[in-house]
Structure 1
Amino acid sequence: MSDSNKGAALVTGASTGIGAVYADRLAKRGYDLILVARDEARLAALAERLRAEAGVKVEVLKADLTDRADLAKVEERLASDTAITLLLNNAGAAHFGGFETVDRDAHEKLIALNVLAVTRLAAAAAANFVPRDTGTIINISSVVGLVPEFKSPVYGATKAFVTYLTQGLRVEYADSKLRLQAVLPGATRTEIWERSGADLNAADPETVMDVNDLVDAALVGLDQGELITIPSLPDAGDFDAFNAARLKMAPNLSRRTPAARFKA
């Protein structure tokens, strides 16, 4: 679909919030767009605005990524369309209720969207990008995946998965030109709060970032080549230290005999 020298970006969860702002910023960077979400009316309105403001081609692709047929449709497009050069894996949901009180089917749907869809779409994009030694995959994760004390075990676990997936793909494709980034927002002013049943107004306003600021910072992180971008973290060295502590343990995580501290 693209006449742009940057190609096309496929953006999931594009109808509102983080996805809609990314669509705006990517259009202004010269990407044509394929906008994916369930709300076709919102997508159409956003597409019309971006065509007028940025002069790029914008296609709307209505899909519910928890529906296997819809997910397969988006996968096929990602895997086969060589005009696509960027995937923004943004579609996601959250639950903040008590673990035993949240409906188990809701947990399953959350995992389907936050883990299964993210994985399958990243795999489809990699199948397109890696043979051509090009392309960018941006996965929207969350700081909740780093801190179990934030008390959202299933949502946090899905986001820990997204961060690990991104890090693992960097290792697997270290010799390619595939760009990878996981963006870990903190609390961000989007509709995800209302949809999850949480009251954003109860949060300390000093801990809540505007969605425009979040996306702009994340794109600077991408430009700087960051694998993990935490827009609110003042000192990148803090995450480097966190990562260094993990790597320090690595040689002792698999050994022939149990550690001496476990001897009777």
Structure 2
Amino acid sequence: MTTQNKTAVVTGASAGLGAAYAQRLADRGYDLILVARNAARLETLASDIRSRTGRAVDVVTADLTDAAQISVVEERLRTDESIEMLVNNAGGGLFTPLATSDAAASEALISLNVTSLTRLTTAVLPGLTARGHGTVVNISSALALNFLPVSAVYSGTKSYVLTFTQALQQELAESPVVVQAVLPGAVRTEFWDGSGADLGAFPDEWIMSADDAVDAALAGLDAGEPVTIPSLPQISDWESFEKARQTLVPNLSQRAPADRYRG
């Protein structure tokens, strides 16, 4: 999966999973476009990667919930023919009962986790398909499957990322462009700061390092997994889950209601 003069775009790249992806993809020979709000951190990371690997690293400071700022990133994704990979990692968390939550905070979370990911994928895809190669990695969450009383909005956004990715995989079934969903569990990053959840309340055995999570995600990508859950011991468990979902499909839309609904 080593490339020559190919570029990977990583959003939310200033810390956590995004920074780990940036390091690993540089190691794999990608030049980088790093996107995040924190310019100082991006520059520090970029300088480190340039000096360590010799790869070219561009920094784009952008708040992906701001229409004018995301449009700059979209334009780069549409026009830069060197782009081979997009890692949609930027995202936030919010853990609170909906009845006591702030609607504006929920809207901002949906904008970041759902709208920006959709817009950036829409921007990059025509170029990847025209060039006949490329990869999109969408970071979902284990809470797309394990929703909690305090995670209605967050789990909803991450369920969107999962189903969006799975539908896109069907759309691109005959294309060489690869789309992967990654569903990490708890990862030791700054994601939790201000989220309403205390990482320190979790048992240590639940918490993965960002480097381990990204290494697992990339191993899953290399293995051709459409969905990678870094801590899941057996991929057959995910396949069984998907098979169970597929058994519903033939009966999801029928002319007549099921017998049990008819008196």
| TM-score bin (small chain) | over 0.9
- Note if contact 2:98-2:150 (Cα within 8 Å) is conserved in structure 1: no
Could you say which residue in structure 2 is the equivalent of 1:181? 180
CA distance in 1, matches of 2:4, 2:194: 37
Q: Secondary structure at the match of 2:99?
A: coil
Per-residue Cα deviation, 1:55-104 (whole angstroms, up to 9, x for no partner): 10000000000000111110111011101110000000000111121210
TM-score norm. by structure 1 comes to 0.97
SS in 2 for 1:169: helix
**Aligned residue number for residue 105 of structure 2:** 106
What is the 5 A alignment of 1:40-55? 40-55=39-54
Equivalent position amino acid for 1:136 in 2: T
User: Relative to 1, partners in 2 of residues 1:149 and 1:196: Cα closer, same or farther, differing over 3 Å?
Assistant: closer
1:146 aligns with 2:145: yes
Is the partner of 2:243 in helix, strand or coil? helix
CA displacement at 1:6 relative to structure 2: 5.2
CA distance in 2, matches of 1:137, 1:6: 18
* Whole-Å separation in 1 of the counterparts to 2:194 and 2:84: 31
Q: CA contact under 8 A between 2:136 and 2:180: conserved in structure 1?
A: yes
User: Within 5 Å, which residues of 2 pair with 1:13-24?
Assistant: 13-24=12-23
Per the alignment, residue 165 of structure 2 pairs with 166
Unaligned runs of 5+ in 2: none
Q: Which residue of 1 aligns with 2:133?
A: 134
Unmatched segments (≥5 aa) in structure 1? none
Verify the 8 A CA contact 2:97 2:149 in the aligned structure 1: no
TM-score when normalising by structure 2: 0.97
Q: Is contact 1:180–1:227 with CA below 8 Å preserved after alignment? A: yes
How far does residue 195 in structure 1 lie from its aligned partner after superposition? 3.0
Structure 1 residue runs of 4 or more that deviate by more than 4 Å after TM superposition: none
Q: CA RMSD in A?
A: 1.0
- Equivalent position amino acid for 1:126 in 2: L
Aligned residue in 2 for 1:192: 191
Identity, % of aligned pairs? 51
What SS is found at the alignment partner of 2:232?
coil
- Deviating more after overlay: 154-163 vs 4-13: 4-13
CA–CA distance in 2 between the matches of 1:45 and 1:89?
21
Aligned to 2:37: 38
Distance (whole Å) between structure 2 residues aligned to residue 121 and residue 163 of structure 1? 16
C-alpha distance in structure 2 between counterparts of 1:150 and 1:133, whole Å: 43
Measure how far apart 1:148 and its partner are.
2.3
Query: Aligned-pair distance for 1:128?
Result: 1.2
Separation of aligned partners in 1, 2:260 and 2:39: 59
